[in-house]
Amino acid sequence: MTDLPEGVERRAFDGRQRLATRGPPVYGEPTDEEWRLWDAGRSKLAAMIESGLDTGLDGGETVLYLGAASGTTVSHVADFAGPTYAVEFAPRPVRDLVGVAEDRPNLFPLLKDARKPETYAHVVEADVDAIVQDVATRGQARVAVENRRFLREDGRLLAAIKARSEDVTRDPDDVFEDALADLREGYEVLETARLEPYHDDHLGVVARPE
């Protein structure tokens, strides 16, 4: 079983051992004392951990999170990480994200487009330990390559590639193959895993800068 970062544990929910982080509840998730369920069915990163991928996360890292939406997953990341920069370009979810950050002083919401890293380069510190990416846009691998500038030399990219965001008409395996080829323009791909049964037609990718 994959080692969990410090600050992430398996706790009993619904009679099963499931991932949990310690922090204020955000979206009505079940809690066990100060621990709250981190549901792999709602979080690509949790699904990557449950799928056995070695994320390289130990806890306390500086994280750049691309595609933070309303803060479901990034709230869990901020529970166990250090400074966490959360990039989201849609104004409505960012309003929710700002509310999540009120209880997490290490979480910094940024109303920015992950395809344009130059617009937040003045805010995000260099040499972050990990980039977590979950963007539902065409060109997901290109987003990762463009944001590589922020990652330290031996940092980790933890990306969920959504086949349907690239092309709904193509076979997902072909989409993933193309995305990995594009990723290799800037990264060494260390591990991949399909994220079923948690998320259909998604590929979890662990990579480091080349």
What is the rounded average pLDDT for all residues in the chain?
Answer: 96
Containing 184, the helix (H) or strand (E) segment is none
Per cent of the chain over pLDDT 70 is 99
pLDDT (tens digit per residue) in 61-72: 999 999 999 999
Query: What's the pLDDT score for residue 101?
Result: 97
Q: Are 73 and 134 in contact (CB under 8 A)?
A: yes
89 annotated to a ligand binding site: yes
21 annotated to a ligand binding site: no
**184 pLDDT higher than 70:** yes
114 annotated to a ligand binding site: yes
2 annotated to a ligand binding site: no
Exposure of 87 in the CB half-sphere (CA atoms within 13 A): 26
14 annotated to a ligand binding site: no
88 annotated to a ligand binding site: yes
How does 87-105 read in b/e, with b if 16+ C-beta sit within 10 Å? bbbeeebbebbeebbeebe
84 annotated to a ligand binding site: no
Class of domain 40-209: alpha beta
User: Does the global pTM surpass 0.85?
Assistant: yes
Query: What's the pLDDT score for residue 1?
Result: 59
